[in-house]
Chain A
């Protein structure tokens, strides 16, 4: 099966993703930033689908957009945003920060320009059909130990979040 109109969808999704990213950092209102971030996340999920990574796309939607962003919105509602709305949104060193980021971007550009041959144009023919099954085999095969460590990390995060957010233990 051949993907339809690949360039069109690529440019659409990447434009949405980058626009969303810009909105995240320029909006004064944190809820607007969160919505922009959701747009970015969903666009990136679309890009994953184009890269024949449907399982990662599904995980992205379920964990990021459905879980983490709800948590973010929840916390934004809990904390008082009225005050920060009236204050400066950016800190005093913003110009240094911009300069550093531009330098970083320039570094990336130079890498892309200098190393044309580093990235092959065509990749392995990955089968979309058995993607999930293969990821499952990797997770419970090669990466068994990492998988267990990840679950431990999540457990620690849960305990830490509960301990910190609870008023009295």
Chain B
């Protein structure tokens, strides 16, 4: 058994491509778990970062520095009464959040966290991702319609129009990146997510820097369209609080509402992973061209462990800053334990053997986290677009820009 695990870990195939059901299930379970933790962490981080941007503290009461606040919220949501409007279409109302969650989670089957760390590697990976993530809009439209109420209906109409229009610009940006994968000696591109990252490795350049500024512009278009696609500020019209109270999920409560929440954050992570894979070199570590060589490889492979150790040190530092009062004793102990946990993870990640396999995942997650931070930053900074302005940006700015970038990429690719 141990041999089997070792031989698998030593191989360089994704479990889906290896036709290995067991490992595929293990990966699915891991991704599901990791995604849930990421959503919980994201919830806490968003509230804390947004709060600090807005000169307030954010959650501070539940657990040290509000660390347990998302857990408490999740419990609250699960225990809340599940309200279904009397005039709602029961079946569709019940089905809608499930579709949204399924679409958001199914995308992760092809996300490459590392050269071997993906559930499967599809020939049509990026097409699959775009297609499945576009299924989420069906759930949103169904939710708005099934609620049988005016605000959700307007929210659903807005979101369907918005998501369908931004998909076009998004697709064009993706195509220009896919086009870049074909610029090798054989002239064969790929749609596979792992293949796209490997193409960046072979060409020795992240596609964001390729044909500067074309790659950069394509990523910019994608980065704008993906915010609209996930219905986040400043494109959060379908759930615009000050206009439509809560948009398509006005009538939802408790567990069903939390499914929408879960789906929104997973979709954010999913589109960020697409952006990272296509333009930011996926799991590749930064600066391989400037800081190459085995020494630098070693240094960069230490980064995950060291960053966890740094997080642990931060938590430990804050443990000493906790007020010395019996009221805070439990919280202080909890924070100390959290620091120890982080430090232990850090030490584990420093171990040789582990660190080589973990660093891919670390760099991928780090790059995704940068995008997550951008999401929060947008939310704290921008007012909301109006519907006609949103459509104008989508069709009159992003779409022509995407087309132009695509054509220029093709021309430059032929010339170079």
Chain A residue at minimal CB-CB distance from B164:
A70
| B356 beta carbon closer than 8 Å to chain A | no
Given contacts A35-B142, A73-B142, A129-B123, contact A62 B21 (CB under 8 A): no
Asked if A29 lies at the interface with its beta carbon under 8 angstroms from chain B, I say yes
Cross-chain contact of B135 among A54, A61, A130 (Cβ < 8 A): A61
Q: Which residues of A contact B153 (CB under 8 A)?
A: 77
B188 / chain A contacts, CB cutoff of 8 Å: 133
From B124, B132, B142, B164, A31 is in contact (CB under 8 Å) with B142
Answer whether residue A14 sits at the interface, using C-beta atoms and an 8 A cutoff: no
Contact of A31 with B145 in the complex, beta carbons under 8 Å: yes
Q: Does A148 contact B (CB under 8 A)?
A: no
Please tell me if the beta carbons of A61 and B128 are within 8 angstroms of each other in the complex.
yes
Whether A77 and B157, one on each chain, are in contact in the complex, defined by CB atoms closer than 8 angstroms, is yes
Question: Is B365 close to A, CB under 8 A?
Answer: no
8 A Cβ contacts from A106-148 to B: 128-133
Interface contact B145-A62, CB-CB below 8 Å? no
Q: Output the least CB separation between A16 and chain B (Å).
A: 15
B191 within 8 A of partner (CB): yes
User: In the complex, which residues of chain A have a beta carbon less than 8 angstroms from the beta carbon of B156?
Assistant: 77
Chain A residue at minimum C-beta to C-beta distance from B123: A54
Tell me whether A132 and B21 are in contact (CB under 8 A): no
| Main SS class of interface, A | helix
- A17 lies within 8 A of chain B by Cβ: no
Contact status A55-B137, CB under 8 Å: no
B160 in the interface (beta carbon within 8 A):
yes
A67 within 8 A of B: yes
Bound Cα distance from A58 to B161, whole angstroms: 22
Residues A31 and B89 in contact, CB atoms below 8 Å apart: yes
Q: Closest B-chain residue to A45, C-beta based? A: B131
Instruction: Given the known inter-chain contacts A55-B127, A58-B131, please indicate yes or no for A31 contacting B19, CB distance below 8 A.
Output: no
Asked if A54 contacts B92 (CB within 8 A), the reply is: no
Chain B residues near A18 (CB-CB < 8 A):
none
User: CB-defined interface of B167-196 with A at 8 Å, one 1/0 digit per residue?
Assistant: 100000000000000000000110100000
Which of B95, B123, B145, B157 is in CB contact (< 8 Å) with A132? B123
B47 to chain A, nearest CB (A): 32
Q: Which residues of A contact B164 (CB under 8 A)?
A: 66-67, 70-71
Given the interface pairs A70-B160, A74-B160, the reply to whether A32 lies near B122 with Cβ below 8 Å is no
Interface residues of B in 146-172 (CB under 8 A from A): 146, 153, 156-157, 160-161, 163-164, 167
Question: Closest approach, in angstroms, between the C-beta of B414 and any C-beta of chain A?
Answer: 14
Total number of A residues with any Cβ neighbor in B under 8 Å: 31
Q: Which chain A residues numbered 87 to 110 have a C-beta less than 8 Å away from chain B?
A: none
Given contacts A31-B142, A133-B188, contact A66 B123 (CB under 8 A): no
Q: A55–B124 contact, CB under 8 A?
A: yes
- Inter-subunit contact A132/B134 (CB<8 Å): no
* Chain B CB within 8 A of A161 CB: no
Contacts of B191 in A (CB 8 A): 132
Chain B residues lying within 8 Å of A2, measured Cβ to Cβ, are 19
Nearest-neighbour CB distance to chain A for B195, whole angstroms, equals 10
Cα distance A57–B127 when bound, in Å?
A: 10
- Give A28 Cβ to nearest chain B Cβ, in Å: 12
Complex Cα distance A86/B160, Å? 27
Q: A32 to B91, Cβ gap below 8 A?
A: yes
CA of A61 to CA of B167, assembled, Å: 13
* Interface check B138, CB cutoff 8 A: yes
Q: Is the CB of B19 within 8 A of A54?
A: no
- Which of B17, B19, B167 lies in contact with A66, CB distance below 8 A? B167
In the assembled complex, the Cα of A35 lies from the Cα of B124 at a distance in Å of 25
Determine the chain A residues whose CB is within 8 A of the CB of B189 once the complex forms: 133
A54 to B138, CA, bound (A): 22
With A70-B137, A73-B160 as contacts: A54 and B91 at CB distance below 8 Å: no
Residue in chain B with minimal CB distance to A52: B123
Scan residues 66-93 of chain B and give those whose CB is less than 8 A from a CB of chain A: 89, 91-92
Whether A69 and B131, one on each chain, are in contact in the complex, defined by CB atoms closer than 8 angstroms, is no
Cβ of A4 under 8 Å from chain B? yes
Contact present for B124 and A66 (CB under 8 Å): no
B100 within 8 A of A: no
A61 to B92, CA, bound (A): 20
16 contacts between A and B (CB under 8 A): A1-B17, A29-B89, A35-B95, A54-B122, A54-B123, A55-B123, A65-B131, A67-B164, A70-B160, A73-B138, A74-B157, A77-B145, A77-B153, A129-B123, A130-B123, A132-B123
Besides A32-B92, A70-B164, A74-B160, 20 other CB < 8 A contacts? A4-B21, A31-B92, A35-B92, A35-B95, A35-B142, A54-B123, A55-B123, A55-B127, A58-B127, A58-B131, A62-B127, A62-B130, A62-B131, A62-B134, A66-B131, A66-B134, A74-B141, A77-B153, A77-B157, A131-B124
